[in-house]
Structure 1
Amino acid sequence: MTDKTQPVHVVLVTGPSGAGRTTAINALEDAGFESIDNMPLSLAPRLFEQPGLSRPMALGLDTRNRDFSTAQMMDTIATLSANPSLTLEVLYLDCSEDVLIRRFSETRRRHHLSPDGAALAGIQLDLDLMQPARVRANVLIDTTQLSPHDLRAEVTRYFAPDKVNPMAISVQSFSYKRGTPRGIDMMFDCRFLRNPYWDETLRAEDGRNPKVQAYVAEDSNFPAFKQKVLDLIDLVIPAHVAEGRSHLAIGFGCTGGKHRSVTMVEMLQKELQLRGWHVSIRHRELLEQAAPSDTSDSKVLSS
């Protein structure tokens, strides 16, 4: 059984199909919950018989579950509520009939309870089957007039009120000669900056070296470039957070991926950490150049 001294927080997310369950579960995942969606109801109580569970969990249950019945769902809620190792909360996502119809129409999806007919019949049956869970809910959020971003904000407000700066930021240096990394959201070209490669005393060093950083910083364009990058970052990161994003990847590239781009990554990491953001960095070319005997990435990957 789980540790009785520290009950596992379990949020059971339910409601009619189309009301925003996936969005809510994603928000809980970003808040640190482990999620399981559409788990057979009969298996849910047995999940918590396993030892070693410590992370909070989000369980998605609705009429699409394989062995769903209203009675089985309510029995599952009752069983989980009675488990002293758990702190269970039922989150019910409600939505008006008209908006559910519109959402199914916009996505051109058939309703699983009315696969061969109009969505309305399936929606009405869904709402009827979910009614007991709606009455039992600890938290009810009506998503009728909520955007996905608004719903994420509501879920975070209820279940992770102390979570600050939820976005994780990764910053990476790379060489344009070897191609740009995949998955970068914002990319900056540093090839116009003063290049330490041409200084024989610095060529073998990299942008983590203070002397290399000082050399790059002596470029007359560096102060303005640094400030404009920071101004842009300060603008866009809060906007991305407001849209519900949980991760932002920023890349700096130069010719060899060793001096100028590394310098900018090291600089930006310090500035972002001063602003309170969680930042991880990766120097792609330095990582791949690391000796095979080096068992730690601490030289080239840190947070």
Structure 2
Amino acid sequence: MTESEGTTSTVLFVTGMSGAGRTSVANVLEDDGWYVADNVPVSVIAQVIDGVRTSEVGAQKIAMVVRASDAEFAADLARLRGKLVAGGADTLLLFVDASDDVLIRRFEHVRRRHPLQGTGTLSDGIEAERRMLAAVKAESDTVIDTSALSSTRLRSMVAKAFPSAAGPGLTISVQSFGFKYGLPMDCDLVADVRFLPNPYWVPELREHNGRDADVRDYVLGQPDASEFADRYVGLVDLIGRGYLREGKSYVTIGIGCTGGKHRSVAMTEELTRRLSAETDSDGGPRYSVEATHRDLGRE
């Protein structure tokens, strides 16, 4: 495996007991910006990682979900990690576990056979897998027992142990719209800025829009406009912390006026600017923010 100049890949191996939550962990990592590949044979993982890094994807945080396939799995995985480290990559190993009784209940709930069960019982399959994975678990950097974890708690633990590859924890899309064209279907929060005077009724502003300086200055210069923006950013900070605790990493905010051309556009741009300037305790950006304008350009 080769490293691009000045970059270091992190390869996270996710393994563990069948039914313990490997797929749930993979989903969290994928949501957090990791490149995730599931059920790739150990023998070809190095080639897959090289392909990912050198392709247009260019991911530097790569998660490989691997399953025990035979008695040589632990030795094969150890050799692979050594090869990747020698090639300049950082490697981590996460083992996902759960108690036998919880695993049995989960398999019975979905009415599936254990992959190592063969002609024996479900308990036989779980026991065989534990023996096969004992050495892997002992070498793991992190072990997460999901026996009593809710999906929200699991997401929180994974996100804390393996920081996001996507930058700030909450991605915010601020979208302007016109109420006369209907409410957006995908907004988590909606604000109405029709309480501000409408530039449409100012002849020299009518044909302009909220991204133009004259309209922006008119809208944001109105009484209560700045206070609204201040309070709304504070509201997003409050709600955003709760969303992150509950495992929600993407939020869409709708800002509406009558036609979606003047007031909502200007306020969307202003909120985007303010939210982009918010910082976390380390001084980095708190959010990844983008502005979109659904109805700008409509007649």
What TM-score, normalized by structure 1, do the two folds share?
Answer: 0.79
What is the SS of the residue equivalent to 2:72? helix
Per-residue deviation at 1:143? 2.4
Residue 280 (1) aligns with residue 282 (2): no
Residue 2 (1) aligns with residue 5 (2): no
Q: Is the 8 A contact 2:13 2:93 kept in 1?
A: yes
- The whole-number CA distance in structure 2 between the counterparts of 1:122 and 1:42 is 24
Alignment of 1:108-123 (within 5 A): 108-113=110-115, 114=117, 119-123=122-126
Structure 1 stretches of 4+ moved >6 Å: 115-118, 161-164
CA displacement 1:253-283 (0-9 Å, x = unmatched): 2222111211221121122123222211111
Residue 59 (1) aligns with residue 60 (2): no
Alignment of 1:115-154 (within 5 A): 119-154=122-157
Per-residue deviation at 1:225? 4.5
1:166 to 166, 169, 177: 169
CA displacement 1:161-212 (0-9 Å, x = unmatched): 9997411111111223444444322222334432111111111111123432
Work out the number of aligned pairs and report it.
283
What is the SS of the residue equivalent to 1:237? helix
Q: Is the 8 A contact 1:30 1:166 kept in 2?
A: no
CA displacement 1:218-247 (0-9 Å, x = unmatched): 666646654553343122101111122221
Write the letter of the residue equivalent to 2:15: T
- The whole-number CA distance in structure 2 between the counterparts of 1:145 and 1:57 is 28
> Aligned pair in 2 of structure 1 residues 45, 163: CA closer, same or farther (>3 Å)?
closer
What TM-score, normalized by structure 2, do the two folds share?
Answer: 0.80
- The whole-number CA distance in structure 2 between the counterparts of 1:274 and 1:49 is 36
Aligned-CA RMSD value:
3.2
What is the SS of the residue equivalent to 2:64? strand
Q: Which runs of 5+ in 2 are unaligned?
A: 280-286
In terms of mean alpha carbon deviation, does 177-186 or 153-162 score higher? 153-162
Counterpart position of 2:97: 94
Q: Is the 8 A contact 1:70 1:132 kept in 2?
A: no
Residue 236 (1) aligns with residue 246 (2): no
Question: Identity of aligned pairs, percent?
Answer: 35
> Aligned pair in 2 of structure 1 residues 97, 270: CA closer, same or farther (>3 Å)?
same
Per-residue deviation at 1:148? 2.6
Write the letter of the residue equivalent to 1:3: E
In terms of mean alpha carbon deviation, does 196-205 or 51-60 score higher? 51-60
Per-residue deviation at 1:120? 4.3
